Structure 1
C-alpha cells in the first residue's frame, strides 16, 4: 500500500518549474502518516440552468467529502428546475444566489469569500467528482503544509466524455495566500495583478479527478457562448493588451466565427507577444499548433512548414509536431497522385491503335490504373463506377479489395451516421 509520500510522488503529473527543489525536499522528508483533521475543504459549484446534472454533481461530492467539508452552490440566475433540485439537499449545501454580471472571476471570488475553510475546490455543475479525490487532496495539502509551501494552486485532472484529458486548470486554492481570480472570462488565479499569476506555484495530480460530460449540451448553446466569450475577451484585451492569454483565447474561442484574416492575425500576435518568455510558452505552443493547422487547411503548405519548424524547435516531442509532419507528407503524396492521374489520362487518350501486350488490348488496365488514382484522391464515385464497368467487361484484375471495401461501407454504422447528417 502506498504511504503518504509515495502517494504524493507517484501521482504528480506536472508542476511549476520553480517547485523542483521543493519536490526533491518532499521526496527526502520524513512526514508523519497522520493527516491534520483540521484540513477541511470548501467545495464550490457555480451553476445556471443545470437541471440536467446538478443532482449528480451534488451526490458525487456528498459521497466523497468528509462531514466537516462544506458544499457551496452559487446560482447565477437559473430559470429552470435547478434551484428546486438543489433545495432537496438544503441540509447538506449552502445555497447562494447572485446576479450574473458577465464576470466569472467575480463569482469565484464571491464563493471564496463565503467559504468557511481555507482550501476551496471549484467544481463545475456538469462535472462529477471521482471517488477518492478528496482523500488524496487532503493528503497532498498536509504535505504542502509540512514543507510550508505557500502561494500554490492545485490542479485536478479533468476527464472529458470524448476521452480528452485536461490538466492545468487551476481550481484548488488556499484563501490564506490571498489568491483571487482575475478576468471576465477564462479567469486565472493571481496574487499581484501585475505578475499575471506568475507569482503562484501550481501542481497537478492525476488522481484528483473530475469527469466532464457537458460537450453535447455546450454544442447546443455554442453560438451564444461564443458571442459572449468574444465580447468579454475583447474587453480583457483592452485592459491588458500585451498579455498573450487573452489574445490566444480570443482566437481559440472565436475560431468558427471570426474572419480568417483576424484569426490568423491573433495567432501571429500571440506568438510575437510570447517571444522567448518561458512563462508564456504554453500560449506560444498552442498558437503555433493552431496556426500550422490553419495554414494546412488553407493549402498554404510553405507557411505551415515554416511554423511547424518553429513549433518543433520549442516542443520537439509534442505529438502535434509528429502529426503535422505526417499530414504534410500525405498531402504531398496526394498531390503527386493528381500529377500521375493527369499523365495516365493523357497517355490513354493518345493511344489509338490496338495493342498486343500481356495486359489488355483495349487498355482496360489503364482504366484500372485511373480508378486506383481516383480512389487515392478521394473521388470514390468515379473510382467505383470504373471498377463496376471493368467487372461488367470481365476485367476483374485486383478489384476484389475495392468491392469488399464498398460492401463494408454500405453496411457500416459510419455510413449510417453520415446519411443521418
Structure 2
C-alpha cells in the first residue's frame, strides 16, 4: 500500500494550522511541518497533532523551503498544503484510489479562494498541482511551480483557502518577483505575476505595463493565459484604455469562447466604455446583453480557473441590472429571481424594490 505525507512550510500560523491539520490527519500517514521562523505557538500546534517539525532558515526562496520539506518526507507520495488551506470534502477514498492506480502522474486538487471584491465576498476556484510522487520538487523563488514533465490529472479533493482576506502579502510578493525579473527579464509568467500584484495594489497603470509585456511573450498554450487575459482586460477597463481593450477582446474571443469569466469581463468592459464615452462607444451597448447571456449559456465550468458565479448568479444579476436600466422591468425581475434562487442576496434586495 502506498504511503502519503502531508508536507507544509509555515511561519506564525498558530491561528490556522490546527484547522488544516484536523482536516487531513485521518487521510495521511505522516505530517511534515517545516517552520521558517515562527515567533508564536505554531510549532506547539503542529506537535499536538503528531506532526514531525523541522526548522529551515528563511532565505527569500519558497522553492528552497518546499524542497527541504519534501526531503523530510519518508512516504511514496506527498500532499502539499498551506496553513490557511483546509480540506472540505470527503476525499480519503479518492486520494487512495489515485495513489494505488500505479501510473506516474501528478494530482491537481481544486482550491476555492475567498476574496473581497466591491465590498462583497467572492470565491474563485482553480486546480493546483499538489499531490506529488516522491522525488518531484519545486522551482522558482516566488509563485513556485512543480518542476516535472509528468502528466497532470484533476482529482476530487476540494480545499478552501481564506488567506487572501486574512493577511496582505502583496508587498512581500512584489519584492521577490521584481528580484526574479532582474534575472529573467523576458519571463512571461513572472511578468504576469508582477502585473497581478500591482493590480491588487490598484496601481493599474503599472499593472497594464506588465500585463501587456506578458501577453506579448506568453505562448498561446500557456496554462495561465486565460487568467492573464481576464486580469489584463479588467486593468484596461480601470485605465479606460478602451481601444487597447477592444483589440485584446478581438484577439482572444475565439480561443476563450467557452470561458464565462472572459465574457463577464467583456460585458463590464463594454458597459464602462459605453457610459464613459457614449458618442464613440454607443455601438457596444448591445454587446453588454449578449456577453452576459453567453455567460449563462456556458454556465459554471471546471475547464478553467474562474470566479464562481460568472456563469450563473453574477451574470443573471447583471442582466437584471441591464434590463432594469433599459426599462425592461419584467425581464429584470426574471433574472433577479434567477440570481436570488441561487442565493445571491443583492438580487433579493433588487427584487424587493421592484415587486
TM-score, scaled relative to structure 1: 0.60
Structure 1 pair 241–127 and aligned structure 2 pair: CA distance change class (3 A): same
Task: Name the residue aligned to 1:167.
Answer: 126
Deviations 1:296-341, CA, capped at 9 Å, x for gaps: 22223222111111121321122133223322443455358899xx
Task: Name the residue aligned to 2:151.
Answer: 201
The reply to whether residue 180 of structure 1 matches residue 137 of structure 2 is yes
Give, in whole Å, the separation in 2 of the partners of 1:99 and 1:202: 31
Give, in whole Å, the separation in 2 of the partners of 1:290 and 1:309: 16
Measure how far apart 1:275 and its partner are. Answer: 4.3
Equivalent runs, 1:173-322 vs 2, <5 Å: 173-175=132-134, 178-191=135-148, 199-205=149-155, 207-218=156-167, 222=168, 225-257=169-201, 260-276=204-220, 278=221, 280=222, 282-322=223-263
The reply to whether residue 118 of structure 1 matches residue 65 of structure 2 is no
Measure how far apart 1:290 and its partner are. Answer: 2.0
Structure 1 pair 256–169 and aligned structure 2 pair: CA distance change class (3 A): same
Task: Name the residue aligned to 1:59.
Answer: 22
Deviations 1:173-210, CA, capped at 9 Å, x for gaps: 112xx42100111101114xxxxxxx2321112x2121
Contact 2:79 2:132 in 1 (8 A): yes
Structure 1 pair 100–336 and aligned structure 2 pair: CA distance change class (3 A): closer
Contact 1:60 1:131 in 2 (8 A): no
Structure 2: state its 5+ residue gaps: 115-120, 281-323, 326-344, 347-355
Measure how far apart 1:84 and its partner are. Answer: 2.6
Structure 1 pair 328–116 and aligned structure 2 pair: CA distance change class (3 A): closer
Deviations 1:132-155, CA, capped at 9 Å, x for gaps: 323211101222x1xxx33x2211
Structure 1: state its 5+ residue gaps: 1-37, 192-198, 340-374, 377-412, 415-421
The reply to whether residue 87 of structure 1 matches residue 47 of structure 2 is yes
Give, in whole Å, the separation in 2 of the partners of 1:120 and 1:204: 16
Task: Name the residue aligned to 1:128.
Answer: 86
Contact 2:23 2:86 in 1 (8 A): yes
What's the secondary structure of 1:43's corresponding residue? strand
Measure how far apart 1:98 and its partner are. Answer: 1.4
Deviations 1:335-370, CA, capped at 9 Å, x for gaps: 58899xxxxxxxxxxxxxxxxxxxxxxxxxxxxxxx
Measure how far apart 1:45 and its partner are. Answer: 2.2
What's the secondary structure of 2:142's corresponding residue? coil
Give, in whole Å, the separation in 1 of the partners of 2:210 and 2:164: 25
The reply to whether residue 78 of structure 1 matches residue 28 of structure 2 is no
What's the secondary structure of 1:137's corresponding residue? helix
The reply to whether residue 41 of structure 1 matches residue 4 of structure 2 is yes
Alignment equivalent of 1:96, drawn from 54, 72, 96: 54
> How many residues matched?
279
Give, in whole Å, the separation in 1 of the partners of 2:224 and 2:171: 22
Deviations 1:265-321, CA, capped at 9 Å, x for gaps: 211111111144x2x1x3332222222212222223222111111121321122133
Structure possessing the higher radius of gyration over alpha carbons: 1
TM-score, scaled relative to structure 2: 0.71
Task: Name the residue aligned to 1:324.
Answer: 265
Measure how far apart 1:59 and its partner are. Answer: 1.7
Q: CA RMSD in A?
A: 2.7
